[in-house]
């Protein structure tokens, strides 16, 4: 089915006429079709890519986009290798800001500022892909971390649902109550460092990953360790040793609450529909806050996901590639993404209606409010040092959560390493 592209007609006209490489003749095949390849990670975990490609192809007779799939866990390693070998696709998804910095500084992305200049003001996340005043990728998805909660387990424990006013102390108290009153854990914190540090970095006034001062992390780790030690959440060692997945921990009702990115909505809907996840009522609530000062607009974090153009693309394909970028950031594409539970970068009332109109989506007012009202800050700053810092912070996280190193000692070591390895001093 061809989707009408009226909302993006002006943008697409720009994409067809403006080329960074001088508007050369399209590199079309014998049938007059420009073939483009799009590098993505596994479509089973990221169905949005196939959706975007199918919808775009259905409405464009002169361009055919096909997916070049990479391993999800090794996406950036494999993409870096292909870029170096000249075997990378024409367009490729930007999974993390830290990797984007490497691609951009290495001259492996085309400047797409002309596409960005034509985008609607409702598109969030452009700033994460801008360097020195130019835009090097276009976001189509803007995830935010929310609190997923199992309404059935709350009912079983006789505990009130989240109401949008929780601090992290409230969250910890309820997690313990549910753990004590049911066979499930009250909460699940996934093993990623971002599941804790992302909130600490963005909710703590003055916190800065590039400051070299990481003492602000301590209360967040104290709370997480207390939940582990109290049996309210599975311990980090068990989670890592047994390779626990957050999808199974929440989807199979092993935990009543889970802070997680909004991308999980699409996965949960699909898994409940096909029986991979249990059938239970669930909802979204704002991420718990450091204190009550940010309850009106809860502070959370989340990086956008974008698509960039390989700087080595055939000049005759540039216009078609930019046309595809314009489409993925349009309202039409956003509505299509929202219909399968993906949080698009483009936000509007139509997107919200599509998001909560999906089969199995929660219908309560707090879930809708959570989706619409929040202050989403970038997980990481755009800086050449951020990859080094993230490695250091990952080591801190595993040392603390495994309880092999005290919080104070792990923070002191991270600060010393930041000074030695990244030239950052507090």
Q: Give the model confidence (pLDDT) of 235-259 as tens digits.
A: 999 999 999 999 999 999 999 999 9
241 and 335 belong to one structural domain: no
In a domain, 165, yes or no: yes
**For position 106, what pLDDT does the model report?**
95
Helices marked H in 318-364 — which ranges?
318-328, 331-338, 349-356
With tokens 């219908």, the residue in question is 363
Structural domains in the chain (count): 2
| Distance of alpha carbon 164 from alpha carbon 14, whole angstroms | 43
- The verdict on residue 354 lying in a domain is no
- Domain identity same for 35 and 125: yes
355 belongs to a structural domain: no
Together in a domain, 125 and 162? no
Residues 156 and 281 in one domain: yes
Do 164 and 277 belong to one domain?
yes
Q: Supply the pLDDT for residue 285.
A: 98
The pLDDT value recorded for residue 26 is 59
Within-domain flag for 214? yes
357 lies in some domain: no
Residue 409, number of CB atoms within 10 A of its CB:
13
Query: Do 229 and 269 belong together in one domain?
Result: yes
Cα separation of 110 and 132, whole Å? 14
Domain that holds residue 96: 6-142+302-347
Q: Is 367 part of any domain?
A: no
- The answer to the question of residue 360 being in a domain is no
Give a yes or no: residue 128 inside a domain.
Answer: yes
Please tell me whether residues 193 and 257 are part of one structural domain. yes
Q: Which secondary structure element, helix H or strand E, spans residue 63, and what is its range?
A: strand 63-70
Which segments in the chain show pLDDT lower than 50? 1-24
What's the pLDDT at 1?
A: 35
Please measure the distance between the N-terminal and C-terminal CA atoms of the chain and give it in whole angstroms.
Answer: 56
Length reported for the chain? 426
Domain co-membership, 386 together with 237: yes
Residues 100 and 136 in one domain: yes
Question: What's the CATH code of the domain at 332?
Answer: 3.40.190.10
At 299 the three-state DSSP class reads strand
pLDDT on residue 280:
98
Q: Clarify whether residues 57 and 101 are in a common domain.
A: yes
Task: Tell me the per-residue pLDDT of 76-85, one tens digit each, with 9 for 90 and over.
Answer: 999 999 999 9
CB within 8 A of 393, min separation 6: which ones? 193, 197, 209, 214, 414
Query: Do residues 241 and 119 share a domain?
Result: no
SS3 of 198-248: HHHHHHCCCCCCCCCCCHHHHHHHHHHHHHHHCCCCCCHHHHHHCCCCHHH
- This prediction has a pTM of 0.83
Closest CA to 2 of 43, 61, 48, 46: 61
Both 36 and 182 in one domain: the answer is no
């Amino acid at each position: 089915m061809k989707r009408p592209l009226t909302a993006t007609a002006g943008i697409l006209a720009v994409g067809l006429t403006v080329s960074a490489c001088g508007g050369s003749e399209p590199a079309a095949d014998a049938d007059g079709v420009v073939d483009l390849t799009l590098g993505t990670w596994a479509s089973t975990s990221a169905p949005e890519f196939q959706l975007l490609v199918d919808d775009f192809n259905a409405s464009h007779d002169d361009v055919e986009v096909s997916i070049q799939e990479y391993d999800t866990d090794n996406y950036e390693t494999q993409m870096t290798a292909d870029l170096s070998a000249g075997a990378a696709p024409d367009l490729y998804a930007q999974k993390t800001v830290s990797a984007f910095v490497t691609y951009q500084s290495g001259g492996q992305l085309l400047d797409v500022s002309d596409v960005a200049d034509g985008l609607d003001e409702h598109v969030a996340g452009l700033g994460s892909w801008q360097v020195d005043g130019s835009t090097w990728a276009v976001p189509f998805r803007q995830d935010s971390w929310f609190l997923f909660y199992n309404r059935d387990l709350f009912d079983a424990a006789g505990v009130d649902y989240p109401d949008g006013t929780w601090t992290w102390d409230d969250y910890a108290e309820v997690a313990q109550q549910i753990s004590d009153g049911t066979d499930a854990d009250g909460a699940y914190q996934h093993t990623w460092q971002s599941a804790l540090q992302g909130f600490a970095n963005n909710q703590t006034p003055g916190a800065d990953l590039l400051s070299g001062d990481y003492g602000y992390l301590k209360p967040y780790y104290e709370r997480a360790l207390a939940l582990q030690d109290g049996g309210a959440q599975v311990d980090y060692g068990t989670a890592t040793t047994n390779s626990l997945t957050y999808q199974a921990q929440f989807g199979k009702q092993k935990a009543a609450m889970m802070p997680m990115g909004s991308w999980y909505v699409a996965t949960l809907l699909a898994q409940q529909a096909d029986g991979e996840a249990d059938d239970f009522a669930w909802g979204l609530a704002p991420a718990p806050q450091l204190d009550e000062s940010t309850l009106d607009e809860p502070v959370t974090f989340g990086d956008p996901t974008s698509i960039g153009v390989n700087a080595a693309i055939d000049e005759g394909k540039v216009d078609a590639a930019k046309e595809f970028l314009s489409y993925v950031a349009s309202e039409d594409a956003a509505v299509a993404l929202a219909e399968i539970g993906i949080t698009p970068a483009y936000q509007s009332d139509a997107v919200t209606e599509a998001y909560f109109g999906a089969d199995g989506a929660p219908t309560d007012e707090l879930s809708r409010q959570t989706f619409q009202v929040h202050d989403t800050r970038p997980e990481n700053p755009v800086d050449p040092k951020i990859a080094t810092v993230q490695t250091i912070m990952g080591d801190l996280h595993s040392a603390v959560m495994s309880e092999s190193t005290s919080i104070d000692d792990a923070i002191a070591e991270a600060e010393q390493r930041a000074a030695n390895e990244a030239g950052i001093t507090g």
